[in-house]
């Protein structure tokens, strides 16, 4: 496909991306708004998710679950959280008796995801869980099983798969407007200049660049290729004492059956934020590709992929709420989150053993 036809395709995809958020599915006539309780009131909940919930059409922030009681006054003053919708980690199971809460959104370190997911599911609440899904595939499977047992949905918070330009990249994997993909380059990282990094330096809680930021290039390589990798190689390094127990930088390469390769990197020592696909007849890229806003890109024939004005987290949560209200397919179910962890396990093994690992 050449010239104008590519532009027409991109224009159509852009219209579809906007339509996915403004279609009748988002009409206010739906029976209710989904009541959401956030577990863990750190930066992402406080500064990102809670404000985004105020922008949603199908969700409302009805509860909080925290191990830090000193944080409660802020949340009550800012969002009017009622006393009986506030829980701690010890009485969280009592949420089963609260009809105002439909979803428990797990926003705690990765090492605690399985624990809180099991409590939420056993309380009969749907689970939205931040990425990465869990520490290993065994934990992922346990989370999937407990949600199925209790007939609740398990959704993983891969916000990028709800973002407009990212959805175009996912579509390109099917339509191949620039021919077959030969090479993918995906990088995500930031330079931490401090002398502390909290749980991100603790291997038991899911610290390290690969668990924290590495799922961005890993997941991006998969959705950009539109296929699953068949082998992986990797190296991990740490230069600062702060990261002596975890990886400060990880570089890994994924091989696909089509012959495409994905060169990926993640780091706490380098600022990186780009995704590029080199194809037979051109290329396309997003830069930045995983920022909270301003995701934009371009193509080899001069087409600009303008940033969407929509809030990523609000779009993500509205889409996930609709999956509950309409009992429709989940954008990123637990099974999808587990696929990344299978590969992540192989990346760690490849780095440790210094050899190519088949998947």
Mean pLDDT of the 86-107 span? 97
| Residue 26 located in a structural domain | no
In a domain, 25, yes or no: no
Q: Which two tokens stand for residue 197?
A: 């990094």
| Host domain of residue 208 | 3-9+160-308+333-358
Q: Are residues 110 and 126 in the same domain?
A: yes
pLDDT at 29: 54
Residue 219 domain flag:
yes
Q: What is the pLDDT of residues 163-218, one digit of tens each?
A: 999 999 999 999 999 999 999 999 999 999 998 999 999 999 999 999 999 999 99
Given pLDDT bands bounded at 50, 70 and 90, which one contains residue 27? very low
Residue 42 lies in a domain: yes
Give Cβ neighbours of residue 27 (< 8 Å, ≥ 6 apart). Answer: none
What is the spatial distance between Cα 123 and Cα 175, in angstroms, rounded to a whole number? Answer: 43
Q: What is the mean pLDDT of residues 46-51?
A: 98
Q: What are phi and psi of 148, to 5 degrees?
A: -65, -40
Judging by beta carbons within 10 Å of its beta carbon (0-12, 13-18, 19+), is residue 296 exposed, middle or buried? middle
The pTM assigned to this predicted structure is 0.91
Q: What is the mean pLDDT of residues 8-32?
A: 45
Phi first, then psi, for residue 271 (nearest 5°) are -85, 115
- 126 belongs to a structural domain: yes
CATH number at residue 45: 3.40.50.720
Residue-averaged pLDDT of the chain: 93
Say whether pLDDT at 9 is over 70: no
What is the pLDDT averaged over residues 89-116? 97
Q: pLDDT at position 32, please?
A: 83
How does pLDDT run across 294-308, given as a tens digit for each residue? 999 999 999 999 999
Confidence band (pLDDT; 50, 70, 90) for 16? very low
Q: Give the pLDDT band of residue 14 (cuts 50, 70, 90).
A: very low
187, 227: one domain: yes
Domains of the chain: total: 2
**What pLDDT, in 10s, does the model give residues 240-292?**
999 999 999 999 999 999 999 999 999 999 999 999 999 999 999 999 999 99
As a whole number of angstroms, the distance between CA 173 and CA 177 comes to 9
Q: What is the pLDDT of residue 255?
A: 98
Kindly list the distances between the CA atom of residue 133 and the CA atoms of 125, 176, 358, in Å, as whole numbers in the listed order.
17, 30, 22
Question: Which is higher by pLDDT, 15 or 119?
Answer: 119
Asked if residue 20 has pLDDT above 60, the reply is: no
Each residue's pLDDT tens digit, 128-147: 999 999 999 999 999 999 99
CATH number at residue 195: 3.30.360.10
Q: Are residues 211 and 85 in the same domain?
A: no
Q: Nearest to residue 56, comparing CAs of 262, 320, 287?
A: 320
pLDDT recorded at residue 18: 39
Q: Which of 156, 176, 195 is the last residue of a domain?
A: 156
Residues 46 and 115 in one domain: yes
**pLDDT at res. 226:** 98
Distance CA 246, CA 211 (A): 10
| Residue 87 located in a structural domain | yes
Q: Is residue 118 part of a domain?
A: yes
Are both 343 and 215 inside the same structural domain?
A: yes
Residue indicated by tokens 């009541």? 35
Domain boundary among 126, 156, 186: 156
Over pLDDT 90: what percentage of the chain? 91
Same domain, 152 and 174: no
Is 323 inside any structural domain?
no
pLDDT at 77 over 60: yes
């Amino acid at each position: 496909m050449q010239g104008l036809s590519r532009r027409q395709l991109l224009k159509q995809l852009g219209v579809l991306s906007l339509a996915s958020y403004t279609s009748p599915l988002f009409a206010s006539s739906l029976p209710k708004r989904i009541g959401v309780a956030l577990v863990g009131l750190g930066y992402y909940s406080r500064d990102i998710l809670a404000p985004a919930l105020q922008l949603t059409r199908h969700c409302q922030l009805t509860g909080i679950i925290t191990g830090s009681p000193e944080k409660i006054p802020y949340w009550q003053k800012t969002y009017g959280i009622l006393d009986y919708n506030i829980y701690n980690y010890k009485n969280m199971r009592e949420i089963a008796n609260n009809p105002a809460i439909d979803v428990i959104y797990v926003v705690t370190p990765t090492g605690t995801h399985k624990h809180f997911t099991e409590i939420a599911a056993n309380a009969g609440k749907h689970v939205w869980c931040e990425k990465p899904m869990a520490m290993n595939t065994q934990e992922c499977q346990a989370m999937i099983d407990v949600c199925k047992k209790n007939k609740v949905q398990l959704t993983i918070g891969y916000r990028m798969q709800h973002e407009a330009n990212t959805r175009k990249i996912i579509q390109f994997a099917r339509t191949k407007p620039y021919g077959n993909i030969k090479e993918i380059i995906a990088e995500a990282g930031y330079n931490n200049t401090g002398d502390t990094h909290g749980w991100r330096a603790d291997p038991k809680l899911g610290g390290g660049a690969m668990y924290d930021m590495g799922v961005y290039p890993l997941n991006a390589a998969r959705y950009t290729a539109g296929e699953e990798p068949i082998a992986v190689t990797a190296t991990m390094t740490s230069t600062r004492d702060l990261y002596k127990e975890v990886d400060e930088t990880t570089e890994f390469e994924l091989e696909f059956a089509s012959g495409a390769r994905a060169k990926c990197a993640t780091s706490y020592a380098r600022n990186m934020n780009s995704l590029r696909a080199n194809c037979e007849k051109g290329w396309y890229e997003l830069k930045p590709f995983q920022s909270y806003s301003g995701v934009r890109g371009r193509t080899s024939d001069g087409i600009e992929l303008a940033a969407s004005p929509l809030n990523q987290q609000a779009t993500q949560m509205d889409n996930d709420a609709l999956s509950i209200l309409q009992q429709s397919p989940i954008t990123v179910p637990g099974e999808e989150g587990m696929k990344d962890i299978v590969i992540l396990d192989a990346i760690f093994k490849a780095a440790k053993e210094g050899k190519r690992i088949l998947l």
